[in-house]
Amino acid sequence: MNWESTYAIALELRRQHSDADLEQVSLQQIYRWTLALPDFEDDPALANDDILSAIFQDWFEENLHGQ
């Protein structure tokens, strides 16, 4: 996975942190959790608020519409 894989990252974060309250999750937390994913292989310095927000949005949408 890399920073362009926002949906895949969101699915994995949702799986690993199923009890997370998204209203309390910060972009910094998403950044740390993403770097901790075993399949994540991108440069941490490439992250920015737009990417982290996209991951958050994908996660939020999955919680609303996913299974």
The answer to whether residue 28 sits within a structural domain is yes
Say what the pTM is: 0.93
The count of structural domains within the chain is 1
The answer to whether residue 1 sits within a structural domain is no
Give residue 48's pLDDT. 98
Q: Give CA 1 to chain center in angstroms.
A: 11
- Cα distances (angstroms) measured from residue 14 to each of 1, 42, 45: 15, 20, 23
Domain of 44 in residue numbering reads as: 6-65
Rounded to 5°, the CA angle 16-20-5 comes to 50
> Is the pLDDT reported for residue 40 higher than 70?
yes
- Report the alpha-carbon distance of residue 50 to residue 67 in Å, rounded: 26
> Is the pLDDT reported for residue 67 higher than 90?
no
- CATH assignment of the domain containing 27: 1.10.10.600
